[in-house]
Structure formats: C-alpha cells, structure tokens
Chains A and B, each alone.
Chain A
Amino acid sequence: MRKAPTVRKALRTILFYLMLLVIVLLTVLPFAWMVSSSFKGSEAIRTIPIRWIPERPTIEGYQRVFNMQGFSFTRSSLNSLLLAITSTFVAVSSATMAAFVFAKISFKGSGKLFAVYLATMMIPGTVTMVPNYIILRILRLLDTYTGLILPSLANAFGVFLMRQSMMSVNDAYMESAYLDGASLYRIFFQIMLPMVMPTLATMVLLSFMGSWNSYLWPLIVLTSTNKQTLQVVLGNMNGIYKNNEHVLMAGAVLTILPILVVYLISQRYVDQGISLGGLK
C-alpha cells in the first residue's frame, strides 16, 4: 500500500526532468547548431546526418567575417557600441530628469502633461517612423548618429518607469536637504539618483540591449557603409553569403556574444525590468 505513491512520485519527478530537458534542448539546439556550423568549412557544413563536432574545425568563417569586401565588421561593432552607449545615455538621462519633475515637483498642468506622455506610449512606432525620417531629412540629419539618436529623447516608458520608482522615495529626505540650502540639482543627483539606483540600472540595461539589437531605424537612417551598425551589416551579409552559411553563423555568433556577456553579468537587473514592464 505504501509503495504505490512513492513509485508515482518518482515517475512524476522523472517526467518533470524529462520536460525540462526537452525545453532546454529546444532552446539551446539552434545556438549549438549556429556555433557548430560556424567552425565548419563551406562543404562540411552540408552533411547528412548532422555532425555536431566538426571533423576538421576551421576558423575560415570567422576570417571571412573580418575580411569582407566593402564593409568592416570590426568598424560596425564599434559603431554599434558607441551608439548603444550614447543613445542609452540620452534616453536614460532625459527620462530620469523628466520623471523627477513628474514625481516630486508640483506645477500647473503636471497631471495633464503626464497623461499626454502615457498616451504617446500607445502610438505604435510604425506611425511615427515615416514622418520622423522626413523630419530628420528636413533637419539635414539623415545618415548622422545625431539623427539616429535624437528620437531616443522621447522615452515615455522610461519616464513612467522612473516616476513609479521615484514616487516611493520619502519626501522628508529631500525637503530637509532643501531647507539646508541644497539646490534641486543637488537633490536630484545626490539624493534621488542613489535612491533609485536599481531601477536606473534596469533602465540602462534595457535601453542598451534595445539599442544594440535594433534594426529597422538604423537601417533606414544610416546609408553610408562606414556608419552602419552591426545588426544592419549582419542583415546585409544575409543577402551576400546565402550559400556560405558558415560565414553567416560566424557573424551571428559574434553579434550575439557581446550582448550575452552583458546579460550574464547583469542578469538581476534585466529580470527585474521584465517584472516592472509586465506588471502594471
């Protein structure tokens, strides 16, 4: 009588771990396939059945990625890095400053203005894409990094996120600092920012990853080859190396690797961001 439940329990545990294994395999196999293919030669890549460990591993794919005709993979990686850093700085500082005002400084029409901010979150990027392109054209900012980054000034989601976090900071700290003669700037930098550090870190990360991974906007704004970002170059390679998958896979590995490292180092803040974004 006693034995039946334990057998069932063991079976259930086995079933559970089997399910885990299936999910892990489904998630990881495409990555493994990418890495494996990237170390194969152009013929070895087409084999039936699959050889996970290349017979004669080669870095030819990687060499070709770094010696492309017409555009430079290294250059575009640096472009992406530079752009991710600057646009993150722009987006986060503009949002944080605005959020501070919305959260802690009362002024006439504050509520209404914030409602407008919230409303802009509903407008899909699709509608603003064409006119934004034309605005940049009129300002003669097409094919410049300034033009690419400028729209990051509008970051309603960031304002919303930071405001939520700043509202929970006790006014007493800031009021007493104010009475002691601290300016609003000092209150902002020395009291508010340290208090909302976790949210700030989350926003920096989300913004950095978003910028590193973005495709459509850099694709339409930047036209000079030497200005292009990593994602756009990888997208272009897709057309050129149609039948050289090992080169493409090497490119994909090199594109994913940096952001993977950033994620692994800062996982805590990224996860926090998901719960902040998901739970309203």
Chain B
Amino acid sequence: MYIPNNASKRRTTILFLLPSLIGVIGFCLLPILASAIFSVMDYDLLMPMNTMKFVGIDNFTRILKGSEFPKVLKHTFTYLGLYLPLILLTSVGEALILNKSFKGHRLFRTICYTPVITSWVAAAVVWQWVLSGKYGLLNQMLAAIGITGPAWLNSKDWAMPGIVIAAVWKDTGYYALMVLAALKSIDSTCYEAADIDGASGFKKLTAITLPLISPTLFFLIVINIIYGLQVFDSVLIMTNGGPGGATTVFLERIYKYAFKQYKMGLASAYSWILFALILIFTAIQFRLQKKWVNYDA
C-alpha cells in the first residue's frame, strides 16, 4: 500500500513492530547468543553469576564422551525408528478414508481429531493407565485374544514402544488432516486415465496417489524428525526417563541438568548438540528428497 513517508508513518511503523521486535530480540535472538556463551561456561544456577567461568569445549566433550550419551541417542532413535513409519502409515491410512465421502464423515473427522487437542499431560496420564501391566486396557484386550502383554512402562524393553503407541494415537489425526489436504489437491483426471487403463486400487495408490502427495510426506518426515528429537512431555509423565534410565531422551536430560542439577552450561551445550543433530538430519532429508519427492505435479 502506498503511503507518503512522513513522521506519522514512521512512528506508527515502529510502534506496531515494537512488541514483536522486543519478543524476537529479547526471547529468540539474545537467548541464542546467551546459550552459545553458556555452553562454553561452567555455570551453576545456585551460585552468583560472576562465579561463572570459561571452560572451552569441556561441556561438549563431557557429554559426547560420557557413557550416557550413546544411550540417549539409542533411545531417541528407537523412538523415531518406531514412531516415524507408524505415524506415516496411520496418518496416510486415515487420510485415505477421510478422502472418501460417507455417512458420518464429519463425526469421524471430529473423533479422529480429539486426541490432538488433548494435552500431552492428560494423554500421558490416561495412557499410563491404559498400558498398566495387569489391569491396563491394552493388556486386558490382548489377553482376550490370548496374548500376554508385557509390563510396558515398567519394562526396560517395552517402555519406549509404549510411549510410541501413545504418541501415534495422539498425533495421527493431526497429520491425517495434513495428508488429506494434499489428497484433495490431486487432479481427478489422473485417476480417470488410470481407470481407463484398468489399474487396480493398489496400483493407483502406489503409482499415482503416493508420488503426488510426496511433497507432503516429505514435509511430514522432516517435521516429525525435528519434533521426535525433542520428545519430552510424554516421556517425563509416563516414565520420567525410567525404568532404570531406559527412556532417557535429549529434552529430558536437558531439563534435568538445567532444572534439577542447575548445571546451566552443561544443559546449554546439550541443547546445541541437539540442535546440530536436527540440522544434520534436516540437511540429509533435503539431500535425499531429490530421489523420491515429486514436485512436478
């Protein structure tokens, strides 16, 4: 919009930008700088700030060489390795169903979305009880078909899969609606041509639908890796990193170093390692996308 450049325009511009600028500078840019500085410092929150001392890359080496780090990596990748394929499967499946028209469509959509609006704390509290070893809903249902379920959250091997099940339950509706938006944008003539050629439903899915929604699938994978590396609420409530440290993950470690042990330097270094990991994974994704993502349509 054209407005003559005068004092009143400048004043308004600054005034309108100010709140947001204070936020972005004070709580985004400045903290990034501060975090970078803290990460090379030994900073105990309980001590006065001037006792902070420079330790170089000590925090980083302590984390990377410690016996805990490989475990944190392993747990995080177990989470991602289970969660990612499952969430892609369930959200694409749900979206394919939502893309059809049927009686009760609106109700179905609402039901699918209910877990998404539920807070993680409430969802985790409920799932803890669903996954309870003896009286839990899941194991009782498994027992009904003759399977003895594991102790889930109390078992070192099954705690992480338990958290993943809860996460897939909670997130499917959200990503399904994203996939649905992509499905809706597919030109119906593609399918008409395939019908004339006599293609089967499965063939249409793999040869038309999936390639055409591949940009959305790519987006889902990228953001889910970013979010998955930062999994927190579910872990803290459902297992608190346990049993016996079997579900320690990045954010849970950072939270405990910073706010239980008050080692702010170490926690900052940890968060930069996590950030580096996020960048590396996102970069790899963007490299790989050329092989399978189709932007032509």
Contact = CB atoms under 8 A, between A and B. Distances in A.
Given A209-B117, A251-B125, A256-B118, A131 B268 contact: yes
A100 B122 CA distance: 37
Q: Name the residue in A94, A104, A130, A248 with the highest tally of chain B Cβ atoms < 10 Å from its Cβ.
A: A130
B127 A30 contact: yes
A254 to B, nearest CB: 9
B199 to A, nearest CB: 16
Contact of B32 (A128, A155, A171): A128
Nearest to B168: A26
A175 B4 CA distance: 11
B264 A124 contact: no
A126 interface: yes
B152 to A, nearest CB: 14
A29 interface: yes
Interface in A17-55: 17, 19-20, 23-24, 26-31, 33-34, 37, 45-50
B233 A216 contact: yes
A61 to B, nearest CB: 12
A94 B19 contact: yes
B20 A98 contact: yes
Interface string B1-44: 11100001110110011011111101111111011001000000
A146 interface: no
A238 B111 contact: no
Interface stretch (B64-72, B187-195, B204-212, B270-278): B270-278
20 contacts: A20-B97, A101-B16, A124-B278, A131-B31, A133-B259, A135-B27, A154-B27, A183-B8, A183-B12, A184-B3, A184-B8, A216-B255, A252-B125, A259-B117, A259-B119, A271-B177, A274-B174, A278-B178, A279-B178, A279-B181
Interface of A: 16-17, 19-20, 23-24, 26-31, 33-34, 37, 45-50, 90, 93-95, 97-98, 100-101, 104-105, 107, 116-117, 120, 123-135, 150-156, 159, 171, 174-175, 178, 183-185, 188, 209, 212-213, 215-216, 220, 231-232, 234-235, 237-238, 245, 248-249, 251-252, 255-256, 259-260, 263-264, 267, 270-271, 274-275, 278-280
Given A151-B23, A279-B216, 13 more contacts: A20-B97, A31-B114, A100-B16, A105-B1, A126-B274, A127-B271, A127-B275, A130-B258, A135-B31, A156-B28, A249-B125, A271-B109, A278-B178
